[in-house]
Amino acid sequence: MTDASAGLHVKSISCTRGYRDLFSALDFQLRPGQVLRVEGKNGSGKTSLLRIMAGLAQPLEGEVLWQGQKISHAESNYLEHLLFLGHRAGIKYELTAMENLCMAKSLHGSKADNGIEDALSKVGLFGFEDIPCGQLSAGQKRRVALAQLFLTRASCWILDEPYTSLDVVAVAMLEKLFDEHIDNGGMLVITSHQPVTLQAGEQHRLVLPKTQLEPLI
Protein backbone atom coordinates (compact mmCIF):
# COMPACT_ATOMS: atom_id res chain seq x y z
CA MET A 1 0.00 0.00 0.00
CA THR A 2 1.74 3.12 -1.20
CA ASP A 3 1.18 6.77 -2.13
CA ALA A 4 0.08 8.12 1.25
CA SER A 5 -0.98 11.46 -0.27
CA ALA A 6 -3.86 9.69 -2.06
CA GLY A 7 -5.60 8.46 1.07
CA LEU A 8 -5.15 7.60 4.72
CA HIS A 9 -1.75 6.96 6.32
CA VAL A 10 -1.40 5.57 9.82
CA LYS A 11 2.15 6.55 10.56
CA SER A 12 4.13 4.77 13.28
CA ILE A 13 1.41 4.98 15.91
CA SER A 14 1.48 3.42 19.36
CA CYS A 15 -1.36 2.99 21.83
CA THR A 16 -1.64 2.00 25.48
CA ARG A 17 -4.65 1.40 27.70
CA GLY A 18 -3.92 1.64 31.40
CA TYR A 19 -0.50 0.05 31.81
CA ARG A 20 -0.85 -2.25 28.81
CA ASP A 21 0.64 -1.66 25.37
CA LEU A 22 -1.94 -2.50 22.69
CA PHE A 23 0.26 -1.92 19.65
CA SER A 24 3.37 0.05 18.74
CA ALA A 25 5.05 1.42 15.60
CA LEU A 26 1.95 0.55 13.57
CA ASP A 27 2.38 1.89 10.04
CA PHE A 28 0.20 1.37 6.97
CA GLN A 29 -1.61 3.21 4.20
CA LEU A 30 -5.08 2.94 2.72
CA ARG A 31 -5.79 4.13 -0.81
CA PRO A 32 -8.97 4.40 -2.93
CA GLY A 33 -10.33 1.00 -3.87
CA GLN A 34 -8.79 -0.77 -0.88
CA VAL A 35 -10.25 -2.67 2.07
CA LEU A 36 -8.59 -3.14 5.45
CA ARG A 37 -9.99 -5.81 7.76
CA VAL A 38 -8.77 -5.32 11.33
CA GLU A 39 -8.84 -8.53 13.34
CA GLY A 40 -7.78 -9.69 16.78
CA LYS A 41 -9.02 -11.00 20.09
CA ASN A 42 -11.20 -8.92 22.38
CA GLY A 43 -9.01 -6.31 24.05
CA SER A 44 -6.36 -6.41 21.32
CA GLY A 45 -6.95 -2.76 20.39
CA LYS A 46 -9.24 -2.94 17.35
CA THR A 47 -11.68 -0.30 18.55
CA SER A 48 -8.85 1.89 19.86
CA LEU A 49 -7.18 1.78 16.44
CA LEU A 50 -10.37 2.70 14.61
CA ARG A 51 -11.08 5.58 16.98
CA ILE A 52 -7.55 6.90 16.42
CA MET A 53 -8.02 6.62 12.66
CA ALA A 54 -11.29 8.54 12.94
CA GLY A 55 -9.67 11.30 15.02
CA LEU A 56 -11.71 10.48 18.13
CA ALA A 57 -8.68 9.43 20.18
CA GLN A 58 -4.99 10.28 20.17
CA PRO A 59 -2.13 7.78 19.82
CA LEU A 60 0.64 7.69 22.38
CA GLU A 61 3.10 8.19 19.53
CA GLY A 62 2.84 8.72 15.79
CA GLU A 63 0.15 10.40 13.71
CA VAL A 64 -2.62 9.83 11.20
CA LEU A 65 -2.44 11.63 7.85
CA TRP A 66 -5.18 12.32 5.33
CA GLN A 67 -3.97 13.14 1.82
CA GLY A 68 -0.53 13.87 3.25
CA GLN A 69 -1.70 16.17 6.07
CA LYS A 70 -2.19 15.45 9.76
CA ILE A 71 -5.90 14.89 10.31
CA SER A 72 -5.84 17.58 13.00
CA HIS A 73 -4.66 20.05 10.34
CA ALA A 74 -6.99 18.73 7.62
CA GLU A 75 -9.95 18.32 9.94
CA SER A 76 -12.72 19.83 7.79
CA ASN A 77 -11.49 18.11 4.64
CA TYR A 78 -11.08 14.79 6.43
CA LEU A 79 -14.47 14.91 8.14
CA GLU A 80 -16.07 15.65 4.79
CA HIS A 81 -14.69 12.35 3.47
CA LEU A 82 -15.12 10.26 6.65
CA LEU A 83 -18.01 8.18 7.90
CA PHE A 84 -17.34 6.44 11.22
CA LEU A 85 -19.80 4.02 12.79
CA GLY A 86 -18.78 2.62 16.17
CA HIS A 87 -20.05 -0.13 18.46
CA ARG A 88 -23.04 1.95 19.47
CA ALA A 89 -25.61 2.99 16.91
CA GLY A 90 -24.80 6.67 17.38
CA ILE A 91 -28.41 7.76 17.02
CA LYS A 92 -30.67 9.80 19.27
CA TYR A 93 -33.35 7.60 20.76
CA GLU A 94 -35.84 10.42 21.28
CA LEU A 95 -35.82 11.18 17.54
CA THR A 96 -37.48 9.11 14.84
CA ALA A 97 -35.52 7.21 12.21
CA MET A 98 -36.42 9.93 9.70
CA GLU A 99 -35.28 12.71 12.03
CA ASN A 100 -31.98 10.96 12.79
CA LEU A 101 -31.18 10.60 9.12
CA CYS A 102 -32.22 14.18 8.38
CA MET A 103 -29.68 15.27 10.99
CA ALA A 104 -27.00 12.98 9.54
CA LYS A 105 -27.73 14.24 6.04
CA SER A 106 -27.34 17.88 7.09
CA LEU A 107 -24.02 17.08 8.80
CA HIS A 108 -22.44 14.86 6.16
CA GLY A 109 -24.18 15.70 2.92
CA SER A 110 -25.87 13.09 0.82
CA LYS A 111 -25.96 11.41 -2.56
CA ALA A 112 -28.32 13.33 -4.81
CA ASP A 113 -30.09 10.20 -6.05
CA ASN A 114 -30.73 8.60 -2.65
CA GLY A 115 -33.43 9.97 -0.37
CA ILE A 116 -33.98 9.19 3.28
CA GLU A 117 -37.13 7.14 2.73
CA ASP A 118 -35.32 5.10 0.08
CA ALA A 119 -32.38 4.50 2.44
CA LEU A 120 -34.69 3.33 5.24
CA SER A 121 -36.50 1.04 2.83
CA LYS A 122 -33.21 -0.52 1.73
CA VAL A 123 -32.31 -1.42 5.31
CA GLY A 124 -35.74 -2.94 5.92
CA LEU A 125 -37.30 -0.09 7.89
CA PHE A 126 -40.13 0.85 5.53
CA GLY A 127 -43.06 1.82 7.75
CA PHE A 128 -40.84 2.63 10.75
CA GLU A 129 -39.89 6.15 9.60
CA ASP A 130 -41.89 8.01 12.26
CA ILE A 131 -41.30 5.75 15.27
CA PRO A 132 -38.94 7.09 17.97
CA CYS A 133 -35.73 5.08 17.82
CA GLY A 134 -35.97 4.30 21.52
CA GLN A 135 -38.93 2.04 20.69
CA LEU A 136 -37.01 0.05 18.04
CA SER A 137 -35.22 -3.25 18.60
CA ALA A 138 -31.42 -3.41 18.80
CA GLY A 139 -31.24 -4.64 15.21
CA GLN A 140 -33.54 -1.88 13.99
CA LYS A 141 -31.52 0.78 15.78
CA ARG A 142 -28.42 -0.58 14.05
CA ARG A 143 -30.18 -0.41 10.70
CA VAL A 144 -31.04 3.27 11.25
CA ALA A 145 -27.34 4.00 11.71
CA LEU A 146 -26.36 1.86 8.71
CA ALA A 147 -28.88 3.66 6.50
CA GLN A 148 -26.37 6.52 6.49
CA LEU A 149 -24.20 4.41 4.20
CA PHE A 150 -26.81 4.77 1.46
CA LEU A 151 -26.86 8.54 1.86
CA THR A 152 -23.29 9.64 2.47
CA ARG A 153 -20.81 10.98 -0.07
CA ALA A 154 -17.91 10.10 2.25
CA SER A 155 -15.14 8.12 0.55
CA CYS A 156 -13.56 6.64 3.70
CA TRP A 157 -15.77 4.35 5.76
CA ILE A 158 -14.49 3.19 9.16
CA LEU A 159 -16.91 0.64 10.60
CA ASP A 160 -16.56 -1.08 13.97
CA GLU A 161 -18.60 -4.30 14.07
CA PRO A 162 -21.27 -3.17 11.58
CA TYR A 163 -22.88 -6.63 11.52
CA THR A 164 -23.87 -6.52 15.21
CA SER A 165 -27.55 -7.43 15.72
CA LEU A 166 -28.13 -7.99 11.98
CA ASP A 167 -29.57 -11.08 10.33
CA VAL A 168 -28.02 -12.84 7.33
CA VAL A 169 -30.18 -10.94 4.84
CA ALA A 170 -29.04 -7.58 6.21
CA VAL A 171 -25.39 -8.71 6.21
CA ALA A 172 -25.65 -9.73 2.56
CA MET A 173 -27.20 -6.35 1.74
CA LEU A 174 -24.34 -4.56 3.49
CA GLU A 175 -21.65 -6.57 1.74
CA LYS A 176 -23.17 -5.74 -1.65
CA LEU A 177 -23.08 -2.06 -0.67
CA PHE A 178 -19.45 -2.38 0.49
CA ASP A 179 -18.47 -3.91 -2.86
CA GLU A 180 -20.17 -1.06 -4.72
CA HIS A 181 -18.41 1.51 -2.53
CA ILE A 182 -14.99 -0.03 -3.19
CA ASP A 183 -15.66 -0.43 -6.92
CA ASN A 184 -16.44 3.31 -7.02
CA GLY A 185 -13.06 4.17 -5.51
CA GLY A 186 -14.05 4.24 -1.86
CA MET A 187 -12.02 3.00 1.09
CA LEU A 188 -13.24 0.66 3.80
CA VAL A 189 -11.87 -0.21 7.24
CA ILE A 190 -13.91 -2.84 9.03
CA THR A 191 -13.84 -5.03 12.13
CA SER A 192 -16.18 -7.96 12.58
CA HIS A 193 -16.48 -11.06 14.71
CA GLN A 194 -18.47 -12.54 11.84
CA PRO A 195 -16.98 -13.61 8.48
CA VAL A 196 -16.63 -10.77 5.95
CA THR A 197 -17.15 -11.84 2.34
CA LEU A 198 -16.25 -9.12 -0.12
CA GLN A 199 -15.45 -9.42 -3.81
CA ALA A 200 -14.26 -5.94 -4.70
CA GLY A 201 -11.01 -4.09 -4.34
CA GLU A 202 -7.57 -4.84 -3.01
CA GLN A 203 -8.10 -6.44 0.37
CA HIS A 204 -5.69 -6.47 3.30
CA ARG A 205 -5.84 -7.83 6.82
CA LEU A 206 -4.26 -6.51 9.99
CA VAL A 207 -4.30 -8.96 12.90
CA LEU A 208 -3.51 -7.11 16.13
CA PRO A 209 -1.14 -6.99 17.92
CA LYS A 210 0.90 -7.53 14.73
CA THR A 211 2.15 -4.38 13.02
CA GLN A 212 2.24 -5.58 9.39
CA LEU A 213 -0.56 -5.98 6.87
CA GLU A 214 -1.30 -9.28 5.18
CA PRO A 215 -2.74 -9.32 1.64
CA LEU A 216 -5.94 -11.31 1.22
CA ILE A 217 -6.09 -13.33 -1.97
Between CA 75 and CA 81 the distance in angstroms is 10
Confidence band, pLDDT 50/70/90 cuts, at residue 39: very high
- Sorted by where each starts, the structural domains of the chain and their CATH numbers stand as 4-90+155-215 (3.40.50.300)
Q: What is the reported pTM?
A: 0.89
User: How crowded is residue 109: how many other Cβ atoms within 10 Å of its Cβ?
Assistant: 13
Confidence band, pLDDT 50/70/90 cuts, at residue 109: low
Q: Is the pLDDT of residue 46 over 70?
A: yes
With pLDDT > 70 as the criterion, what percentage of the chain qualifies?
A: 92
Q: Is the pLDDT of residue 51 over 70?
A: yes
Question: How far is CA 216 from each of CA 35, 142, 175, 204, 206, rounded to the nearest angstrom?
Answer: 10, 28, 16, 5, 10
Please write the tens of the pLDDT for every residue from 110-153: 554 458 888 898 898 989 999 999 999 988 998 999 999 998 88
Helix extents (H) in the chain: 46-53, 75-81, 97-108, 116-122, 138-146, 168-183
Across the chain, mean pLDDT equals: 88
User: How crowded is residue 117: how many other Cβ atoms within 10 Å of its Cβ?
Assistant: 14
Of 202 and 88, more confident: 202
